[in-house]
Every structure is written in C-alpha cells, then in structure tokens.
C-alpha cells in the first residue's frame, strides 16, 4: 500500500565474523572504481579515460611483464620512455571496449588533437609528454592516494595482501611509486571492464550500472555497509535518470536509453522515486561464478600485484612511520 510514507528501514546486521566480507568489499570496490573514473576523466567524456587507458595498457603490455622495468619507472618523475611503447590499432581498442569502430576513431582523433594520444603509422600511443602534464600528474597522484586508501580499507575488512617474495627487490622503491601504482590501476580497471562487457555488452552501460549501484548506497553509514548480502530496497535510495545524467555528465536521453536496456537485462529496476541497480543479477548463464566472487578474485590479483612489486611493503612502512592520514570508519564511541 502506498500511503506516501517511506517504508521502515531494515535494521542492519553485522557480517558473520567467520565469513569472507564479499559484499563489503564489493561496495568498497564499486566506490573506488567510480572514483577512479571521475578522477581520470576530469571535465571530459566518460569514454575518454577508457580509451586512453586501453591504449596505454596496449602500449605497455610487454613492459608491464618486466618487474625490473616496473620498479625502475615507478616514481612520478620517471615516465617510461616512448621507445618502450608498442602502438595499438583503433580496431583493437574498439574491440577491447566493445565500442563501434567509428566512435573510437572519432574520439581518438579528438584525443590526438588534444595531445592525450599520438597517432603513428602502426597505431595509437600515449606519449610520455602526455604523462608529464600538470593535469595528468595531479590525477596520477589522486589515483595513487585513492588506491592506497582502498588498500587500507581492505586491510580493515580483513582482506590482506599475499606475502611478497623473500627475494630482494632491486631497484627498491625509494619514493612514492605513483607511476607504478597507476599502471597497476590500469590493469585492474581493464579487467573489471572486460568482465562487465561480457554481461552488459558496452562500456557506457557497465559504467551506468556501477554508478547506479553506488548512488543507491552512498548515503549508508558504516554499520549498514557491513551487511553481507544484497541490500534490501528499504535501505537503498532510488536515483532518477536526470540525477544519473548529472553525475556522469551524459545527455539524459543517452542515460535513459542505456538504463532501459539494463532494465531489459534485469540489471536495473524502476521503483517509486527512481531506479535501483540489481548488482546481484550481473552473472550471465555460464559465467564463471557470481560477480561478487569474481570481484574478490580481481581484488586478490590487485593485491598480489601490489605486494610482488613492493608497493604494499612501501605503504606499510610509511604507515608505521607516520600512520595513514585517513580513517575508513569513525572511532569507537
């Protein structure tokens, strides 16, 4: 019965201490992913950072497999030189993102004109000069700090990095590994995007369902975020098409078209006051496990990468020396 009053809120339950905090980590992951997209795109299109990241990942695919090179070019004042980059074709970028070739070609042309990309006879590259501008450096530091915060959030939730190799690392990390961490972020974000594409079919719909999920739950306190299950409707806040469009700086008609597609796929639901995401409906028949389990696998790979390249040790030493400058939860009492 609709009497104009909000339904009573479901009392949050604490997670079972013995259970893996899959939903808590999933919520933290969605917030981190959307923050990374927001930091990276600045005032630009939501697609531009995906295109640039895909090009950069293709350029450095071989480089990223070499731990020595990764650590050598770890700090913010040491971008990998252009000669270490391998060009990637527009067709490969379009295929990786499941976007129309013409869309990628047009946006890549704009990015080339702005200096974010360079066009060569063999394909696209992200030139070292584009990774040294004040705007890029500010975004790189913001992404670095956001991932460091995410790492300590995971640690508070009981998810720890695997033990790093006992072999000495040479060269050791002597300063904040901002560029190294940004490359690891790129790898993680593209894995997430690849898995979303398998379910939703295009990058914009994938971003929309995550942003919708974040918007539905961002008002919750820390206690509610501990619920180890999909959040009930009475704890979530519906979001309108116009609000989503403002959040993502996309045309309302574009958002409406994609949200209706998500509804047809069972990934969004219209309720009184707006829309709710159906994150728990993300797996498709035949997919390898539920999305929450796959998210934990992605997070595990992220932590393994950070540990193996010395980033976790660097952050832990930094925290022991001065303590982290943030807290994921309010102090007791």
pLDDT computed for residue 330 by the predictor: 38
Q: What is the pLDDT of residues 5-19, one digit of tens each?
A: 344 444 444 444 444
- Distance between CA atoms of 180 and 306, rounded to whole angstroms? 9
pLDDT computed for residue 280 by the predictor: 65
Q: What is the mean pLDDT of residues 171-185?
A: 87
Residue 3 has pLDDT above 50, yes or no: no
pLDDT computed for residue 310 by the predictor: 92
Residue 49 has pLDDT above 70, yes or no: yes
Q: What b-and-e string marks burial along 129-160, b requiring 16 or more CB atoms within 10 Å of the CB? A: ebbeeeebbebbbebbbbbbbbbbbbbebebe
Residue 172 has pLDDT above 70, yes or no: no
More confident residue, 22 or 303: 303
pLDDT computed for residue 163 by the predictor: 61
Residue 305 has pLDDT above 50, yes or no: yes
- Distance between CA atoms of 283 and 129, rounded to whole angstroms? 40
Long-range contacts, stretch 315-323, CB < 8 angstroms, 24+ apart:
315/148, 315/151, 315/152, 319/152
Residue 332 has pLDDT above 90, yes or no: no
Q: What is the pLDDT of residues 106-140, one digit of tens each?
A: 999 999 999 999 999 999 999 999 999 999 999 99
- Distance between CA atoms of 204 and 97, rounded to whole angstroms? 10
- Distance between CA atoms of 256 and 197, rounded to whole angstroms? 19
pLDDT computed for residue 93 by the predictor: 93
pLDDT computed for residue 174 by the predictor: 78
Domain ranges of the chain: 22-154+169-319
In terms of average pLDDT, the best of 86-95, 185-194, 290-299 is 86-95
pLDDT computed for residue 20 by the predictor: 54
What are 150's two structure tokens?
Answer: 């995410």
More confident residue, 237 or 192: 237
pLDDT computed for residue 32 by the predictor: 93
Q: What is the mean pLDDT of residues 226-249?
A: 90
Give the gyration radius of the chain's Cα atoms.
21
- Distance between CA atoms of 322 and 309, rounded to whole angstroms? 22
Instruction: Report the range of poorest mean pLDDT among 99-103, 195-199, 231-235.
Output: 195-199
pLDDT computed for residue 73 by the predictor: 92
Alpha carbon dihedral 29, 32, 38, 41, in 10-degree steps, equals: -80
Q: What percent of the chain has pLDDT over 70?
A: 82
Q: What is the mean pLDDT of the chain?
A: 82
pLDDT computed for residue 15 by the predictor: 41
Beta bridge partners of 88: 124
- Distance between CA atoms of 68 and 84, rounded to whole angstroms? 13
Look up residue 239 and give its DSSP letter. B
Residue 329 has pLDDT above 60, yes or no: no
Q: What is the pLDDT of residues 67-80, one digit of tens each?
A: 989 989 999 998 88
More confident residue, 42 or 191: 191
Instruction: Report the range of poorest mean pLDDT among 98-102, 142-146, 224-228.
Output: 224-228
pLDDT bucket at 289, cuts 50 / 70 / 90: very low
Residue 170 has pLDDT above 80, yes or no: no
């Amino acid at each position: 019965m609709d009497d104009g009053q909000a339904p009573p809120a479901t009392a949050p339950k604490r997670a079972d201490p013995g259970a893996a905090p899959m939903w808590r980590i999933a919520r933290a992951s969605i917030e981190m992913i959307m923050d990374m997209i927001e930091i990276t795109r600045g005032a630009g299109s939501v697609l531009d950072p995906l295109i640039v990241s895909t090009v950069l990942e293709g350029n450095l695919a071989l480089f990223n497999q070499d731990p020595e090179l990764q650590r050598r070019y770890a700090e913010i004042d040491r971008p990998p030189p252009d000669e270490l980059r391998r060009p990637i074709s527009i067709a490969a970028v379009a295929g990786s993102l499941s976007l129309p070739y013409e869309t990628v070609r047009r946006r890549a042309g704009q990015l080339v004109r702005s200096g974010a990309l360079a066009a060569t006879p063999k394909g696209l590259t992200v030139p070292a000069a584009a990774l040294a501008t004040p705007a890029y450096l500010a975004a790189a530091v913001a992404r670095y700090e956001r991932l460091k915060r995410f790492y300590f959030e995971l640690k508070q939730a009981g998810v720890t990095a695997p033990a790093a190799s006992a072999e000495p690392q040479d060269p050791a990390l002597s300063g904040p590994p901002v560029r190294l961490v940004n490359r690891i972020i790129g790898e993680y974000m593209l894995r997430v995007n690849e898995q979303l594409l398998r379910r939703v079919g295009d990058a914009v719909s994938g971003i929309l369902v995550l942003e919708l999920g974040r918007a539905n739950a961002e008002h919750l306190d820390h206690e509610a975020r501990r619920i180890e299950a999909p959040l009930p409707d009475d704890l979530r806040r519906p979001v309108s098409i116009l609000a989503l469009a403002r959040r993502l700086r996309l045309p309302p008609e574009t958002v409406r078209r994609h949200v209706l597609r998500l509804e047809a796929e069972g990934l969004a639901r219209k309720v009184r006051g707006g829309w709710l995401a159906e994150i728990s409906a993300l797996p498709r028949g035949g997919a390898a496990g539920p999305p929450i389990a796959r998210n934990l696998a992605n997070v595990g790979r992220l932590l393994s990468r950070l540990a193996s390249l010395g980033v976790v040790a660097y952050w832990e030493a930094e925290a022991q020396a001065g303590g982290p400058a943030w807290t994921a939860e309010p102090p007791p009492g």
